[in-house]
Amino acid sequence: MSSFNILTCLTKVCSHHHHLRKPTAVIFLPVSQHFLLQSRLKHYNPKFRKERSRKVIKIKLPDYDEVRKSEKLSIEEIRAKMKEKGIAPPRQWNEKPLFVSCTGGVVDAYVPPEGDGKISAVSGPGVKQMYETIGKKGRSYLALRKIRNIDYEFDLPTVSLKVQDLYIEAQNALAVKDEDKLHDLVTEKAFPEMFENVKNKTIVWKFIQQLEHPRIVHIRTTDLGSKDNIFAQITVRLHTQQILAVYDRFGRLMHGSEDTVKDVLEYLVLEKHLTLPQSSWKIHGKIIPDWMPPKESIKKTYYLPDIDKEFPEPPERSIEKVEPSDKSSVTAQSA
């Protein structure tokens, strides 16, 4: 912009103010090639401009009248106001339902009496054990009543026999490593505990016979999340004869024997989700008492080769004796 144009503009402004009869103060700056008009609103010190601007914070105060009016608005009017302000409508949040298929452990675990399966019921210690177990059955009867309020067909002898069949099916499925069938027979807690121990191993298991009828010795109920979500647990005593042999991945015997029949006393814990009508009893765990002696460490077996066949002794070499006359002739020839 040239200096002539600037002067022209200033004269026009002065004449306009004179026509309106308003006193004005006009400042004529020296006109040069680089004409500069400096605003008086700027601070004399250009340093710390950002810091000075942050001294004053503009706060948007809520409009309480608008809040009161919006309470009476319809959904379409609220949507139109949000569109005016550029606010996106709230997204519908659908949470996925949480399903708990089993409990995380054994509820109030049963403590087997010491020497169970070895002490006769007619002897003094056997009678004492029976008397102690009768005193602990109060809570089991309360839990049994709670189960029968939901599952009317629950019968102790029938369920105990079904448990034995379930146990045999689960052991056979574990031996052949049938994961799909095992998922139907055991809970999600028991599956990794059972299947982790059979990796890279071959199991030979056979059920021979039962020495005593299976008996339910412990019943408990618990709820998870809400009082309507009820789980039931029963502890079954199994006294049977079995054959077990475990081989490692190289075919070496690690535990047991295929020719030895052993008496096995086990306390099996089964669980059922009573709230679900299609649920069934599944193996949940096994109780190992504290008084039980520790298991022996696994002894790895090795193939013993037949040394006589695979490593025969070398034949004896016949050493010929040299006569003294021959020796003298040999020495003479060498000389």
pLDDT in tens, 8-18: 665 665 555 44
Note the pLDDT of residue 331. Answer: 46
CA gap 153, 239 in Å, rounded? 26
Mean pLDDT of the chain: 78
Q: What is the dihedral of CA 106, 112, 114, 117, to 10 degrees?
A: -130
Structure tokens at 179: 């994961």
User: Do residues 90 and 78 touch, judged by C-beta distance below 8 A?
Assistant: no
Q: Give residue 318's pLDDT band: very low, low, confident or very high (50, 70, 90).
A: low
Note the pLDDT of residue 242. Answer: 93
Question: Residue 328: pLDDT above 50?
Answer: no
176-211: pLDDT as tens digits: 998 999 999 999 999 998 888 888 889 999 999 989
pTM over 0.75: no
130-183: pLDDT as tens digits: 666 666 677 888 888 988 888 888 888 889 889 999 999 999 999 999 899 999
CA gap 53, 49 in Å, rounded? 6
Q: Give residue 45's pLDDT band: very low, low, confident or very high (50, 70, 90).
A: confident
Note the pLDDT of residue 3. Answer: 52
Please tell me the number of Cα atoms within 13 Å of 201 on its side-chain side.
Answer: 19
Note the pLDDT of residue 268. Answer: 92
User: Do residues 43 and 51 touch, judged by C-beta distance below 8 A?
Assistant: no
Note the pLDDT of residue 301. Answer: 65
Question: Residue 49: pLDDT above 70?
Answer: yes
Q: What is the mean pLDDT of residues 28-49?
A: 61
Note the pLDDT of residue 335. Answer: 43
Q: What is the mean pLDDT of residues 275-286?
A: 89
Angle formed at CA 158 by CA 168 and CA 166, multiple of 5 degrees = 15
Note the pLDDT of residue 191. Answer: 92
Q: What is the mean pLDDT of residues 70-98?
A: 84
Question: Residue 293: pLDDT above 50?
Answer: yes
CA gap 177, 203 in Å, rounded? 9
Structure tokens at 207: 């059920």
User: Do residues 243 and 205 touch, judged by C-beta distance below 8 A?
Assistant: yes
Strands (E), 118-250: 202-223, 230-247
Note the pLDDT of residue 124. Answer: 62
Note the pLDDT of residue 104. Answer: 87
Lowest-pLDDT choice from 29-33, 175-179, 185-189, 308-312: 29-33
Note the pLDDT of residue 330. Answer: 43
Q: What is the mean pLDDT of residues 223-230?
A: 84
